[in-house]
Amino acid sequence: MIRQSRREHILGLATVAGLMGLPMRAFAADAPQPTLEGFTPAALAKLRATGGIPALGGARAADGGRAILVADGLRSLGAATPVTTNDLWHIGSITKSYTSTLVARLVEKGGISWDTSVGEVLGSTAPGMKDVYKPVTFRHLCSHHSGLPRGITNTEMVKFPVLNPADPRPDRLRYAALALADDPVAAPGEKMLYSNSGYVIAGAMLEVIYKQSWEKLLAAHVFKPLGQSSAGYGAPGTPGKLDQPLGHTLFGEPKTLTPVPLDRSDLPADLPAVLGPAGLVHMTLADMVKYLNAHLQMPASFLKPESWKTLHTPPYTENYAMGWVVRPGGEIWHNGSNNRWYAEVIVDFARKRVAFSACNDGDRTQSGPAVAALLKGAIDGV
């Protein structure tokens, strides 16, 4: 089983040094693990203080019912604007389960199967593809059993734009060609190796087959049917405005927790847009509950029972299903970070509950314990 601290942490970007004038962050590696005392703004404020987190948001629901939402804190350090329960939260690698859900929807629509291979779809667009990758399928890619490395090199990664181009498909094909020319870490199906490249390649395959961007496909086949009207891509908000929370990251010398506006040239607000299928979705707390409730209730109107089973069942030997970690008790869980935000989700089938916790703080050493405590308190009904 992968250590939780490394499961879904997608590739970070190097940043230039600079001092923002914010107070240094206190680190306490031996501090006791925090707990949630209640599902209220006051309890969140106390939990936030354990890690010096700008803002926390949480959501939960039982039996597929109405979402109960709570949020506390500031959209940005150094500003007085509070977060609200209607704000947008970046979900990082939780996006992977969305991409897998999209694959499942398109398998039912027709044109692909879980066993459609990389060689079949991308063979002509990636002439440098290693032969070992040609039989790799959506099943391998979405369960992290492709044998691909975690990602391409930072040197290549920083050549891709952070803002989504009008048509992201050429960038995804270029990324896929680079990744498929890299040496494998293992044979396909041999072992679970967390790979953002695998999900980008899955997205590129869908784009080639259906002749639409992953963004448009996800909106049409997942967001719209589930009523997730707030869902979008990349860092939320409007450049030059504080109309949504800002992500925060450690920056400068000495390292200080720093808000990252969308229009700052020396500190990107998100990872390159090419990584969308691996981890660049944002949405409100309530819209995330709609998605989690769908996975809990598994409506046949959205996916057939066999498709839900495929999404929730590890296809190989470890505990990773299709965009989900399957916990020993049968719950499905995932987390995500772009080094500016951090979030976790869980679907508890036995207790018929779902929960979501998120913060606008990408320093997981400090923010991770509080987000985990919020998720546990939310799912336990604290």
Higher pLDDT: 209 or 9? It is: 209
**Range scoring the smallest mean pLDDT among 28-32, 109-113, 249-253:** 28-32
d(CA 367, CA 358): 9
Of the pLDDT bands very low, low, confident and very high (cuts 50, 70, 90), residue 29 is: very low
Is-contact 187 147, C-beta < 8 A? yes
Give backbone dihedrals phi and psi of 156, rounded to 5 degrees, phi first. Answer: -80, -35
| pLDDT, tens digit, 9 for 90 and up, residues 102-157 | 999 999 999 999 999 999 999 999 999 999 999 999 999 999 999 999 999 999 99
In terms of Cα–Cα distance, which of 312, 337, 332 is closest to 322?
Answer: 312
In sequence order, which residues have a C-beta less than 8 Å from that of residue 158 and are 6 or more positions away? 13, 14, 272
Q: Answer yes or no: is pLDDT of 366 > 70.
A: yes
pLDDT in tens, 187-219: 999 999 999 999 999 999 999 999 999 999 999
Share of the chain above pLDDT 70, in %: 92
Which residues make beta-bridge pairs with 257?
A: 250
Question: Tell me, what's the pLDDT at 265?
Answer: 85
Q: How is the chain split among helix, strand and coil, in percent rounded to 5?
A: 35, 15, 50
pLDDT in tens, 328-358: 999 999 999 999 999 999 999 999 999 999 9
Task: Answer for the pair 346, 335: CB distance below 8 angstroms, yes or no.
Answer: no
CA angle in degrees (0–180, nearest 5) for 222-120-309 = 40
Other beta carbons within 10 angstroms of residue 343's beta carbon come to 27
Cβ neighbours around 353 below 10 Å, total: 22
